């Protein structure tokens, strides 16, 4: 059996066929009058990624056809409609926005000067956010690269590191008066896993474990170097903060005593959680980050080698028969948030931002329960001492969900993709989230 190094914290070892924190209804905060106040200055935000919302992009996703036959070519057209999207953010009462700046728009070759027109558009977006009292958190890499990086082997190729660091240095010098929160890499584990092991993302390679490891190792080195540059050159109005966004998924065996399912869960935990966390934050690398970004959605349980989640094709009826509560992607596991936050806090002693959480479903009541459950657990973890500074709902808009296309509805704001005008509308969950953000409190 593959060793996972040091014993896992008890919190990541637990496997129970029932309890996930969703079965027992959480106290209905809006009904019993409980009020849970969050710390002063807490950032309440939403999140997006360039490929998923901007449209008119030239990277490896441009010619990619998703499972629903769609592409990202127009997406939400936020490239042109960012001013309107910021108005929607104001309607949501968020005070922060986590979004990506697309490298392929800004450099046409390694070490080239930044494209000034494209830079001006991002500067305008930042100025409008700041004018609306919305603090930007900028993501530097979110599952996409310029074509000339991909043509040379992407992140399997070591020279990608200095090219990226050069880009980051130029961008940070240009934006330091407007941005102090920098997210270098979004979910390197998901990116490397889907692109080189599971085949879901371009270049759609399968079981290339050596390439998976190389991508992670190169990105971790790039993170360390980019962080140094951000701290050296990024001091504008505020001291810069820098970190990655680590996706954390719990992997468990459905039946505690099934050795093969336990092995599958351990292998996934080792590859996607432990190995990646160690690469980016282990040993001296911990000092490269001033915060940890945590993307937390839930868990995956294995049954006879099958990952029992909708995203892997498990049917709704089958999952119901097992008693699993899932959105259109993953099993919900709010309790897990109460385990991973203290674990990260103890291990790294760095402030944490929840850089993503959200649920995809057409059932808004389900999404409301999901949000209240996760935020209740988050509040409890903060009370217990976790230094969490913000929460970013995934996502501002319904958008292009990578290999699944437009079929997964994560937005607080709906987008009608059947109408060429792409009209936006506030969803019921947007109204609920607005209450939370504007009061910095859960419940009335
Ligand atoms: C995360 C990604 C984000 C989006 C959500 C649903 O893994 O960072 O782009 O796909 O999942």
Distance 381 CA to ligand 1 centre (A): 23
Which atom of ligand 1 is nearest to 190's Cα? 7
229-249 pLDDT tens trace: 999 999 999 999 999 999 999
377-409 pLDDT tens trace: 999 999 999 999 999 999 999 999 999 999 999
pLDDT surpasses 80 at 143:
yes
Q: What is the pLDDT of residue 21?
A: 56
How far from 8 is each of 4, 41, 256, 263, 328, CA to CA, in Å?
7, 33, 16, 14, 29
pLDDT band at 70 (very low <50, low <70, confident <90, very high): very high
350-368 pLDDT tens trace: 999 999 999 999 999 999 9
**Average of per-residue pLDDT across 403-418:** 98
Q: What is the dihedral of CA 212, 213, 214, 218, to 10 degrees?
A: 110
Which atom of ligand 1 is nearest to 245's Cα? 8
* Residues lining ligand 1, Cβ inside 6 A: 49, 52, 186-187, 190, 247, 295, 356, 394, 401-402, 410
pLDDT surpasses 90 at 318:
yes
Q: What is the largest CA-CA distance in the chain?
A: 59
Mean of pLDDT over the chain: 93
Q: If residue 140 lies in a helix (H) or strand (E), which one and from where to where?
A: strand 135-141
Helix runs in 4-139, H state only? 10-13, 29-32, 50-53, 78-92, 103-106, 116-131
- With a CB cutoff of 8 Å and minimum separation 6, the contacts of 259 are none
* Alpha-carbon gap, residue 343 to 350, rounded angstroms: 11
Q: What is the pLDDT of residue 20?
A: 59
Ligand 1 atom 9: residue of nearest CA: 49
Whether the Cβ atoms of residue 97 and residue 126 lie closer than 8 Å to each other? no
Tokens of 261: 């399912």
**Average of per-residue pLDDT across 285-290:** 98
pLDDT surpasses 70 at 149:
yes
Ligand 1 atom 5: residue of nearest CA: 394
Which atom of ligand 1 is nearest to 401's Cα? 10
Can you tell me whether residue 16 is helix, strand or coil?
Answer: coil
Catalytic residues: 187
Residue 318: CB atoms within 10 Å: 13
164-206 pLDDT tens trace: 999 999 999 999 999 999 999 999 999 999 999 999 999 999 9
Tokens of 369: 């329960």
* Alpha-carbon gap, residue 210 to 16, rounded angstroms: 33
pLDDT surpasses 80 at 46:
yes
Tokens of 117: 């027109």
pTM of the shown model: 0.93
Bridge partner residues of 174 (DSSP): none
pLDDT surpasses 70 at 3:
no
Ligand 1 atom 4: residue of nearest CA: 401
- Main-chain phi, psi angles of 325, to 5 degrees: -100, 115
């Amino acid at each position: 059996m593959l060793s996972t190094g040091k014993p896992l914290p008890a919190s990541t070892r637990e496997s129970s066929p029932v309890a996930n924190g969703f079965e027992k209804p959480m106290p209905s905060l809006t009904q019993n009058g409980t009020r849970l106040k969050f710390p002063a200055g807490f950032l309440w935000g939403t999140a997006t990624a360039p490929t998923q919302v901007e449209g008119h992009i030239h990277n490896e996703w441009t010619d990619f056809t998703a499972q629903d036959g769609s592409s990202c070519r127009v997406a939400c057209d936020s490239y042109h409609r960012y001013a309107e999207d910021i108005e929607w953010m104001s309607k949501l009462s968020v005070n922060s926005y986590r979004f990506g700046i697309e490298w392929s728009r800004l450099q046409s070759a390694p070490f080239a000067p930044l494209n000034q027109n494209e830079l001006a558009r991002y500067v305008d977006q930042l100025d409008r956010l700041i004018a609306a009292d919305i603090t930007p958190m900028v993501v530097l890499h979110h599952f996409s690269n310029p074509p000339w990086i991909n043509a040379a082997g992407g992140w399997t190729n070591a020279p990608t590191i200095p090219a990226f660091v050069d880009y980051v240095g130029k961008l940070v010098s240009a934006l330091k008066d407007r941005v102090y929160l920098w997210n270098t890499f979004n979910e390197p584990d998901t990116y490397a896993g889907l692109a080189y092991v599971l085949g879901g993302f371009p270049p759609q390679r399968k079981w290339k474990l050596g390439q998976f490891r190389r991508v992670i190792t190169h990105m971790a080195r790039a993170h360390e170097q980019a962080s140094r540059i951000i701290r050296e050159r990024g001091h504008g109005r505020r001291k810069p903060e820098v970190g990655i966004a680590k996706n954390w998924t719990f992997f468990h065996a459905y039946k505690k005593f099934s050795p093969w399912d336990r092995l599958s869960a351990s292998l996934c935990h080792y590859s996607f959680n432990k190995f990646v966390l160690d690469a980016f934050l282990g040993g001296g690398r911990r000092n490269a980050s001033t915060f940890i970004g945590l993307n937390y959605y839930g868990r995956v349980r294995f049954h006879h080698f099958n990952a029992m989640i909708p995203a892997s094709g498990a049917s709704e009826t089958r999952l119901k028969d097992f008693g699993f509560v899932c959105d259109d992607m993953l099993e919900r596991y709010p309790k897990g948030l109460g385990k991973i936050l203290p674990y990260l806090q103890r291990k790294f002693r760095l402030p944490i931002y929840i850089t993503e959480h959200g649920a995809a479903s057409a059932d808004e009541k389900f999404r409301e329960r999901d949000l209240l459950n996760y935020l209740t657990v988050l509040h409890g973890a903060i009370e217990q001492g976790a230094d969490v500074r913000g929460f970013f709902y995934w996502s501002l808009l319904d958008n292009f969900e990578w290999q699944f296309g437009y079929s997964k509805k994560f937005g607080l704001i709906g987008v009608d993709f059947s109408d060429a005008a792409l009209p936006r509308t506030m969803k019921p969950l947007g109204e609920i989230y607005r209450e939370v953000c504007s009061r910095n409190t859960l419940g009335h």
